Structure 1
Amino acid sequence: MRILVLSNLYPPNVIGGYERLCFEVTCALAAAGHEIVVLTSDYGGAVAEYPGQRVLRDLRLLTGPDIYTPFPGTPEDRAAIGVTNLAILHRVLEEVRPDVVFAWNLFFLDASMLKALEESRFRTVVMLTDNWLLVMRNPEFVSAYFRDMVHGPHPFVPPPEPAPAPPPSLLHRVVARVRRLAGRAPMPGLEAIFGAAFVRDLYAAGGSRFPRHRVIHNGVKQSGHAAAPTVDRTGLVEAGTLNLLFAGRMVDLKGAHTAVAAMPLLDPAALGVDRIQLTLLGDMQDAAYMTQLQDAIAQSGQAGSILLRPTVAESALPALFNAHDIYLFPSLYEPFSLTLIHAMALGIPTIASRTGGNPEIMRDDESGLLFDKGDASGLAAAITRMARDGALRARLAEGGRHSASRFTFERMVAEMAEFLASRA
């Protein structure tokens, strides 16, 4: 296949997991012999070439000097950048003439890009592991969802499945065939791959359904995990100390502040330890959130027991998880986390929020413990239960390995390639 990959960011310019996953999938498709052209932005300024890929860094994102800063220009400036980006897209489409456009995250690009893909004669499959397309189509729904369900108390209830459409009549089929023969077939529209059933349901709730779609759970490379050293989870890594770990981007939605709020609720003596230490590890580029988090640490009375550390390479994850007793994953919003899969696959007992795609990865009391998002007391209760019971930690660690083994990178890429190659 000739595939045009479209993404707002692309390595070596990386912010989060979306563009990393896009890159890894694209590399795998190139290694399988597909002809790959990548159209991305100039954000970050770094360039690199990758085997089997032609990378065009011609688009411009509507952001400030970094991804967390709003676009500083006027509406006219915004419109001019949108027109230029749209012209680049049309030029590349006509030059490459792809069998399929594989569109990943298009946040910070004008909605006209999405409309052009919908109306293009070139088949487009959108990869949806987040709400970027829903923001373009129905921003009011997304705003209400985050207000009422992510930061508010209301639960998200998936909408009912629509009734199956009746088969087309003979007249409809004849008219459609005549239109195709006359070169007047309707535009193909968008098809979708969803990284989780939760994401599919969120889009449906926002009024955005795709007649042709598939849920393909995200996966991670686990070939080296089996050879990684393991830890006896019936005991603690460091005698007398309970070492807790949060690893993820330091942004509001990842919920590091919930872990901080749980710390004063934990009693070392009741847990049978001398001290409790929480390590918060991750990307700290969101300056506004870091100010809030550092204030929360100071006000918790636990500043001496909470460490802030920068992110580590994926290759360092086995050693990182082995150096801690319990992994905390307290996201307020989490479509489908690769880091959570890594943690479970590497055998660290894990506590995660019961939100988004997390329950698709983890079963409560089988492969980890789940608690209600934002509930610091619920998180503290889960930590207490797990800290007191070494046999429980060992059982959940083994259950986590088994559950995570379903979410492999190789399985995900094979299913994606099959969907990209198939036709309705």
Structure 2
Amino acid sequence: MQILVISNLFPPDVLGGYEILCQHVVDELSARGHDVHVLTAAGALGEKTPSLGLDPETHVHRGLELQTPFPDAPKHLRRLRRRVGKANASITRATIAKFRPDVIFLWSQLRLTVGPARAAEASQVAVVYAINDEHLAGYAPSTFDLSAKGIARYIIDNVLMRDITLHALRLRKAAIISRCLKGKLASRGVAAEAAAVIYQGIPIERFPVKEEIGKLHDPVRLLYTGQLHPYKGVHTLIDAAHALASNASLPAIRVTLVGAGSSTYEDTLRRLAASGPAAVRFTGRKSHEELPAIYRDHDLFAFPSIWEEPFGLTQLEAMASGLPVVSTANGGQGEVLRHGDNALLFQPGDAAGLAESLGTLIRDGGLRTRLAKTARDEVAKHFTVRRYARQLEDLLELSIKEVAQ
């Protein structure tokens, strides 16, 4: 297949898991013999992650414009969105005409506007969306309310500027990473009922399992990897760590926080870390190539997210690496994690519950080993990027056939 991938960012420009997963899938599709081109926005940010399968000089085209550059706060100006949308639609049409793809594969359109998607859907080429978060809901037209601003927004979005909203899109063929995300998008006005739920995967060969599953260091090494924002619940983890460190019957504990995010929240976390007995280390952002060794160097992994995560890659990476996982389950991760089988679960924001689960794992070596081995086996069987890419490949081929009929 000739595949044109359109994404707001592409490595080495990385904001989070969306771009990393996109790169993994592109590399897998390329390795499977498909001719893949990527159309994305220009600009450097975040960590630098080399793309292994594509020649960046010939296959990655950085010509699109972001409505607001990352990491700046977004600007919700409708005239700006229309201008950027028209420019991006024009670039997309030119790229389609140049490369003549069999299928257009749309990944994150956050801050690209709906311009590229509109151009793709108008091209008569097969179109498939990979929906991994709620960003499309940001393009939903305003609903009616009786305030002056509410009436104005409703008229603009539903009459005067329908072309900058989801009114302009059909979303006929899509892959979505969890039932949870599918339901949340539907509740926010995104018509994703026909989307196929396809759970994402990781390149498991990059995450070799640690040598001694279940073994604890002294002090016990507890790991969190991810963004540092209040909705990620990292404060819950620090509170739990202090509770564990205050328990004289348990060994000493050291928490490693890998990631970056809100400077205000990080300052709050540092103050919280300094207020109790647990040792907490902030490493900042690490490249994706550094993460496998970091996982293997730790004993336990915590995922304390408070919001309903669409799914998440970090749990899979930790599970593949042989770390027992303690996690919330209110988002897409709850469709995979099972309490007492492949993880231990706790309620969002419940520091005492998290501390109890971590304490159980610290005391029970047999449970640590069983959970870690079960989780590793499940990732190897069901959550590899190779399996994920193969299912996406089937969806792309089906879309091409349906357009040809």
Q: How big is the shift at 1:96?
A: 2.8
* SS class of match (2:298): coil
- In structure 1, what is the Cα distance between the partners aligned to 2:340 and 2:72? 37
Unpaired runs of 5+ residues, structure 1, are 141-186
Change (3 A) 1:393 1:51: same
Change (3 A) 1:48 1:84: farther
Q: How big is the shift at 1:74?
A: 6.9
Aligned mate of 2:212, from 223, 226, 231 = 231
1:43 alignment partner AA: G
Q: How does 1:7-406 map to 2 (within 5 A)?
A: 7-44=7-44, 50-51=54-55, 54-64=59-69, 66-71=70-75, 76-137=79-140, 189-210=171-192, 212-223=194-205, 225=207, 228-233=209-214, 235-238=215-218, 241-273=219-251, 275-282=252-259, 284-298=260-274, 300-302=275-277, 305-333=279-307, 334-405=309-380, 406=382
Number of the residue aligned with 1:162: none
- Whether contact under 8 Å (1:243, 1:326) holds in the other structure is yes
- In structure 2, what is the Cα distance between the partners aligned to 1:94 and 1:254? 42
- In structure 2, what is the Cα distance between the partners aligned to 1:332 and 1:356? 9
| Aligned Cα root-mean-square deviation (Å) | 2.8
* SS class of match (1:307): strand
Unpaired runs of 5+ residues, structure 2, are 144-168
- In structure 2, what is the Cα distance between the partners aligned to 1:4 and 1:268? 55
1:204 alignment partner AA: A
Q: How big is the shift at 1:3?
A: 1.2
Deviations 1:37-85 (Å, cap 9, x if unpaired)?
2111012289989339522211111224x324334x9765554333222
- In structure 2, what is the Cα distance between the partners aligned to 1:328 and 1:319? 17
Higher CA-based Rg = 1
Q: How big is the shift at 1:335?
A: 1.3
Q: Percent identity?
A: 32
Number of the residue aligned with 1:421: 397
Deviations 1:92-135 (Å, cap 9, x if unpaired)?
22333322110000111223444444444222111011111122
- Whether contact under 8 Å (1:243, 1:277) holds in the other structure is yes
- In structure 1, what is the Cα distance between the partners aligned to 2:50 and 2:203? 23
Superposition TM-score, scaled by structure 2 size: 0.82
Change (3 A) 1:236 1:271: farther
Change (3 A) 1:69 1:259: same
- Whether contact under 8 Å (1:271, 1:388) holds in the other structure is no
**Larger relative contact order, structure 1 or 2 (CA cutoff 8 Å, min sep 6):** 2
Change (3 A) 1:85 1:314: closer
Q: How big is the shift at 1:224?
A: 5.1
Change (3 A) 1:133 1:354: same
- In structure 2, what is the Cα distance between the partners aligned to 1:373 and 1:139? 30
2:267 alignment partner AA: T
Number of the residue aligned with 2:383: 407
- In structure 2, what is the Cα distance between the partners aligned to 1:232 and 1:55? 40
- In structure 1, what is the Cα distance between the partners aligned to 2:257 and 2:345? 19
* SS class of match (1:39): strand
Change (3 A) 1:278 1:249: same
* SS class of match (2:222): strand
* SS class of match (1:223): helix
